[in-house]
Amino acid sequence: MKVYNFSAGPSMLPEEVKSEAQKDFVDYKGSGMSVTEMSHRSKWYDEIHMEALANLKKLMNIGDDYAVLFVQGGASQQFAAVPLNLLVKGRADYVVTGNFAGKAAKEAVKYGDCIVAATSKDKNFTYIPENVSFRDDIDYVHITQNNTIFGTRYTDRTYPVANAPIVSDMSSMILSEEIDVNKYGLIYAGAQKNIAPAGLTIVIVKKDLLGHEKDYCPTMLSYKTQADADSLYNTPPCFTIYMAGLVFKHLLKLGGVKEIQKINEYKAGLLYDFIDNSSFYHNYVNPADRSIMNVPFVCNSDELNAKFVKEAGENGLVSIKGHKLVGGMRASIYNAMPVDGVKALIEFMKKFESENK
């Protein structure tokens, strides 16, 4: 049975990328070795690593005034690394738009005067706060660009205005829509949704923010350590970076982020239109703040939600159960989810509605 995986992460990878990795797996381009067993100091791996860094720069139009880092520890590690590296005056403001944003803010409090400047908790994180005021004299403002669990995202309308660098957690939207990197001081993202298998975290940091880490900042968490060593200070997750490199090449071949964004908007549009025209399914997010990556929805009762998840799975639409903080369903439709996957979900939703109305 054809399976479409709606998991929030780790998530689907492009079929072409998986086939290519399979072809290379045992003998990478005549080296007689798999990438999984190669030295990270070998010429083969060096090429893979440097090409992946260069292609990410190309895809996101990243200038030479930014360092691109491949690190480990997940986006969660960045909740600590960001304040450890960027707090100089010792103050930062956080906008809490969901679970992960809350975790980031909570972690930062350990290292300085970090406060929640605004939150959308009052309406169960169904919107992005607008026109937020930030304190003067802060080191940065932290936002979560796409809220994976609650299905909201930042747009130009809600983009924060502050006299400080903006730090953005882009874990669940990186490479899904065009963004202007120059508007950010730092961007970070776990790779396991739009880029690669788990194990790699991307950090894009303005070079003038490097080198101010606290003296007790662990060496491995110092952005300068990683930047100075081209992210080869220690053994990187070589195979995951190799997979990321294949995904970057695949995206470039498809026409880059601009083209991917069109497809993503089309896919999300199909699903939201269907939900909005139904009285059986509901999405409670403020329409202007809806994510194009994670689409939460519910039926009219917990029993129907549970039945939906079970029967969807039996029909090849897997991992569609919503996060426990929200309940119901969540369709994560990252870059690698084909249009046909979204259409198959909508067909199933129609059938389920007619059988359970």
Ligand X SMILES: Cc1ncc(COP(=O)(O)O)c(C=O)c1O
Could you say whether residue 172 binds ligand X (CB under 6 A)? yes
Q: Is 7 in the site for ligand X (CB under 6 A)?
A: no
What the block records as the tokens of 121 is 């908790």
Smallest separation, CB 39 to ligand X (Å): 26
Nearest approach in angstroms of CB 42 to ligand X is 27
Assess 76 for contact with ligand X (CB under 6 A). yes
Distances (CA, A) of 37 to 193, 239, 259: 25, 9, 35
Q: Which is nearer to ligand X, 76 or 315 (CB)?
A: 76
72 near ligand X (CB under 6 A):
no
Does residue 335 interact with ligand X by CB under 6 A?
A: no
Question: Is residue 176 part of the contact set for ligand X (CB under 6 A)?
Answer: no
- List 56, 60, 68, 75, residue binding ligand X (CB under 6 A): 75
Largest CA distance in the chain: 63
Which residues, listed in sequence order, are joined to residue 69 by a DSSP beta bridge? Answer: 203
CA separation for the pair 105, 102 (Å, rounded) = 5
Query: Can you tell me which residue has the tokens 């939906």?
Result: 308
Give the one residue of 112, 160, 190, 322 binding ligand X; rule: CB under 6 A: 190
Residues 264-303 contacting ligand X, CB under 6 A: none
Question: Using CA atoms, how far apart are residues 231 and 338, in angstroms rounded to an integer?
Answer: 32
Residues in contact with ligand X, counted by CB under 6 A, come to a total of 12
**Does the protein bind ligand X through residue 74 (CB under 6 A)?**
yes
Between CA 181 and CA 192, with CA 187 as vertex, the angle to 5 degrees is 115
Q: Judge whether 8 and 332 are in contact, CB under 8 Å.
A: yes
Residue 187 or residue 349: which is nearer to ligand X going by CB? 187
* 45, containing H or E segment: helix 43-60
From 93, 107, 139, 169, residue interacting with ligand X (rule: CB under 6 A):
169
**Identified binder of ligand X from the candidate list 5, 85, 144, 240, rule CB under 6 A:** 144
Residue among 4, 6, 9, 246 that touches ligand X (CB under 6 A): 9
CA distance 174 to 6: 17
Please give the residue whose beta carbon sits closest to ligand X in the complex: 74
| Cβ–Cβ < 8 Å for 38, 45 | yes
Is omega for the bond preceding 129 within 30 degrees of 0, making it cis? no
By CB under 6 A, the residues from 100 to 139 that bind ligand X are: 100
Which of these ranges, 30-38, 126-134, 167-175, 284-292, lies near ligand X under the rule CB under 6 A? 167-175
Residue 15 makes CB contacts below 8 A (sequence gap 6+) with none
Beta carbon nearer to ligand X, 85 or 172: 172
Supply the DSSP symbol for 209: G
Considering only 5, 152, 171, 231, the residue that binds ligand X (CB under 6 A) is 171
Q: How far is the CB of 79 from ligand X (least distance, A)?
A: 8
| 206 closest CA partner among 57, 66, 53, 83 | 66
Smaller CB separation from ligand X, 190 or 328: 190
DSSP 298: B
Are the CB atoms for 204 and 186 separated by under 8 Å? Answer: yes
Site of interaction with ligand X (CB under 6 A): 8-9, 74-76, 100, 144, 148, 169, 171-172, 190
